């Protein structure tokens, strides 16, 4: 009797361990499938980012080449340049743009904008599906005058830079040649004032006050937004 009991107990113990073993094997398979699925998702996200990055680079190059093709002969006359990496079109002569400390566009800048902007928006129209936003960005030096603090100067310059870009947008929006693009401008063009937050510095690391006073036109493509969305999803 004792031998029979021991045999049954051993069989039950063996059956128990076989069940646990089967359970562990099943869990291992489940974890394996989860790992494979996560790996596939990661690879898929990496593929998407790579495709968008390639498209982004190709779009950047195409827009840059188109802008250079249109404005290359004017850049020296206007003292302007186009940054290949950021698609930023910068006018570097603040005296031509605005009177010092004033928001109103002077007559020389009006004449320049009347020539520049209709051609600019015509070039960008060829890429309107790839463009998320065009920013008219205003920048100032960090100084105001000797009678205000650095903090007061920052906010006074903020008001100045915002007023200038708003006036630029209002002026170019009202140009007759731009009328066909007004709906697109409303949806995609923004006027932004950065005050002195992004100064131009020289080789010694000191602010170049004159160079810091500038107005830029920057193109932001859809690819930048899509890449950020994918990265946020992955994180």
Q: What's the pLDDT score for residue 5?
A: 47
pLDDT at 175 over 90: yes
Tokens 């004032």 belong to residue: 193
Least confident of 13-17, 43-47, 88-92: 13-17
**Residue 49: pLDDT band with limits 50, 70, 90:** low
HSE-up (13 A, CA, CB side) for residue 156: 14
What pTM did the predictor assign? 0.73
Q: What's the pLDDT score for residue 213?
A: 84
Cα(161)–Cα(213) distance, integer angstroms: 9
Determine if residue 67 is left, alpha or beta; phi over 0 gives left, psi from -120 to 50 gives alpha, anything else beta: alpha
For the chain, what percent of residues have pLDDT higher than 90? 40
Cα(175)–Cα(160) distance, integer angstroms: 23
Tokens 């960008």 belong to residue: 124
Least confident of 10-14, 110-114, 222-226: 10-14
Number of DSSP helices (H) and strands (E) in the chain, helices first = 8, 5
What mean pLDDT comes out for the span 24-39? 69
**Residue 168: pLDDT band with limits 50, 70, 90:** very high
Out of 5-9, 38-42, 100-104, 136-140, the most confident range is 136-140
Instruction: Give the largest CA-CA distance in the chain.
Output: 114
What is the tens place of the pLDDT at every residue in 136-146?
A: 999 888 888 77
pLDDT at 14 over 70: no
What is the tens place of the pLDDT at every residue in 96-111?
A: 788 777 888 999 999 9
């Amino acid at each position: 009797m004792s031998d029979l009991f021991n045999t049954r107990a051993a069989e039950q113990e063996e059956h128990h361990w076989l069940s646990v073993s089967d359970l562990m094997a099943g869990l291992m398979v489940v974890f394996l499938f989860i790992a494979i699925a996560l790996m596939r998702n990661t690879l898929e996200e990496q593929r998407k980012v790579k495709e968008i990055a390639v498209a982004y680079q190709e779009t950047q190059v195409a827009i840059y080449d188109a802008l250079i093709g249109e404005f290359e002969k004017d850049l020296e006359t206007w003292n302007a340049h186009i940054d290949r990496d950021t698609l930023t079109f910068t006018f570097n002569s603040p005296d031509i743009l605005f009177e010092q400390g004033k928001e109103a566009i002077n007559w020389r800048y009006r004449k320049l904008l009347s020539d520049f902007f209709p051609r600019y928006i015509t070039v960008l129209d060829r890429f309107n599906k790839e463009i998320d936003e065009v920013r008219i960005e205003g920048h100032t030096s960090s100084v105001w005058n000797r009678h205000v603090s650095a903090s007061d100067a920052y906010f006074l310059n903020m008001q100045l830079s915002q007023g200038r870009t708003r006036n630029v947008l209002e002026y170019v929006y009202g140009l007759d040649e731009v009328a066909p693009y007004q709906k697109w401008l409303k949806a995609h063009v923004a006027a932004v004032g950065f005050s002195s937050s992004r100064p131009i510095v020289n080789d010694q690391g000191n602010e170049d006050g004159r160079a810091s006073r500038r107005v830029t036109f920057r193109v932001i493509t859809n690819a930048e937004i899509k890449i950020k969305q994918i990265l946020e999803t992955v994180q």
